[in-house]
Amino acid sequence: MYSLGNFFVDNLDYLIIVDRNYKILYSTRHNIVFNENADGNLAGADFFDVFKLSKSESTIARSIEEGQIIVAKHQKFTDSKGKEFITDNITIPIIVKGNVMGAIELSCDVTDELNMSETNERFNNFVENVIRDDGEYTFDDILTMDSDMINAIENAKLLSKNGGHILVYGETGTGKELFAQSIITESGISRDKVVVLNCAAIPKNLIESTLFGTTKGAYTGAEDIKGLFETADHGIIFLDELNSMPYDVQSKLLRVIQDGTFISLGSNEIKKTTARIIAAINVDPMDAINNGSLRADLFYRFSNGLIRIPALRERPKDITFFTAYYTDYFAKMYSKKITDISQEVLEMFYEYRWEGNVRELKNTIESMIALSDESDTLKKSRAPRYLERQIMKQRKETGIEDVDELSELSYREKMDAIERTILIEALVKAKGNKTEASRILKMPRKTLEYRLEKLGVEI
């Protein structure tokens, strides 16, 4: 199920396998092939005799008892030689016919803080891939308290069943891939007929051949190779960052959407495909068209299947929800006893614009949890410095350079005053045109009109 090989070579420090009775079946830490300081083969030894930590502290014990993938950061333990270590772990239960038979634990050593940042990024990427492979994403995995997001989910569910092509758009970090994967799951298409391509990750001169295939002799060294559209026939092809695709290749993609035909590179033969296209872009489609990164005629072919994911700053309820959710999530991961969030943190999070959206909020909270002391409250002092610098910049841009100007107001009144200033500034730039102001603010016109009425702004 999981591709552990490359991770083991490039990223992993230790791997251990135990059975359900906590007997060690295999350990790279104790294998001289992987560790020149190994102290012999410990197969059959009791895990808790070798590693000095309690069951309540052990991710292996939790994984076996709960039958779940467990991720933990900064687990402290003493090995068989009495040496202390700190590791980041992901523990995967071994389940046979519904019964937990043991667990596999993969660890990165973060005892040396100098390597911690780089190791953390590699470990997080691996964890994300494992959890993605563990099961198919569904719409139930999309967490929200926001009405616009709920509407987007309902629309996506309907579109997933109609067989048409779909374009998902929203800023980086809003969850476009999660939507796309949930649509694929909801469609009922077999996963072996699903192909994924990140258009930004492929050299521009290779995208055409990757999508449509090549014919022997098309260029020096070319062979008869199927393209992704041929591979995904009767299935789905997910094209992430569609606006990174070269303009001329977009015209050939347009032909696929129009009549389901394409021509492999170097061939004159017209081929057919029934592959359904789900595409995603991280900018507003009109902006992409205006800056020349997206063909207008290609966009219009998706017009019956558009899904817009609103930015986090448009979803204040979700800021509250995700702050609480990720505080609890990372407190457990780092074994911290944080059960409360200070009002200062909430005010900062409401005011900050979250250009990186939910992904940025998640990373921010993880950083704050990792740096927190034994306090039971998440404190503003642990927030990254750049948040306050950006907030000060925002205040300056909106004419509110000193929050003391609002000192006599309640928290909600302060936030309304800041939002009112932002809306008025956008309307001034748009010369009173609400459609243009909504484009500047990157929010639906209906949302803008609702907020203007709510805040008593008249134009």
Look at residue 385 in the predicted model and tell me its pLDDT.
92
- What does the pLDDT average to over 152-162? 95
Widest Cα–Cα separation across the chain: 78
pLDDT of residue 169: 97
Distance of CA 92 to the CA centre of its chain: 21
> Per-residue pLDDT averaged across 320-339, rounded?
91
Find which of 175-189, 340-354, 374-388, 398-412 is predicted with most confidence, using mean pLDDT.
175-189
Has residue 429 got a pLDDT over 80? Answer: no
- The alpha-helical segments, DSSP class H, found in 135-168 are 147-162
Give me the numbers of helices (H) and strands (E) for the chain, helices first please. Answer: 18, 14
Instruction: Give pLDDT, residue 19.
Output: 96
Binning pLDDT at 50, 70 and 90, where does residue 9 land?
A: very low
Q: What proportion of the chain, given as a percentage, has pLDDT over 70?
A: 87
Phi and psi of 76, rounded to 5°?
A: -100, 140
Do residues 193 and 228 make contact, with C-beta atoms less than 8 angstroms apart? no
* SS3 per-residue string spanning 278-346: EEEECCCHHHHHHCCCCCHHHHHHCCCCEEECCCHHHCHHHHHHHHHHHHHHHHHHCCCCCCEECHHHH
Tokens standing for residue 82: 């009495």
Looking at residue 8, its pLDDT comes to 44
CA distance 358 to 375: 25
Residue 341 identity (one-letter amino acid): I
User: What pLDDT was estimated at residue 263?
Assistant: 93
- Region 207-225: mean pLDDT is 85
Of the ranges 66-75, 128-137, 158-167, 281-290, which one carries the lowest mean pLDDT score?
128-137
Q: 293 or 122, which is more confident?
A: 293
Q: How confident is the model at residue 201 (pLDDT cuts 50, 70, 90)?
A: very high
pLDDT at position 5 is 42
Determine the pLDDT at residue 24. 92
Q: Are 11 and 126 in contact (CB under 8 A)?
A: yes
Contact by Cβ (8 Å): 280, 240: yes
User: pLDDT higher for 308 or 266?
Assistant: 308
Q: Which pLDDT belongs to residue 234?
A: 94
Query: What contacts 404, CB < 8 A, 6 or more positions away?
Result: none
pLDDT band at 457 (very low <50, low <70, confident <90, very high): confident
Query: Is the pTM here over 0.85, yes or no?
Result: no
Task: Assign 37 a pLDDT band (cuts: 50, 70, 90).
Answer: low
Highest mean pLDDT among 254-258, 369-373, 431-435, 437-441: 254-258
CA proximity to 294, closest of 169, 158, 389, 128: 169
Separation of first and last alpha carbons in the chain: 58
Residue 60 is encoded by which pair of tokens? 């292996």
User: For all residues of the chain together, what is the average pLDDT?
Assistant: 86
pLDDT digits (tens, 9 = 90+) for 378-423: 999 999 999 999 988 888 776 655 555 555 556 667 677 777 777 8
Q: Is the pLDDT of residue 322 over 80?
A: yes
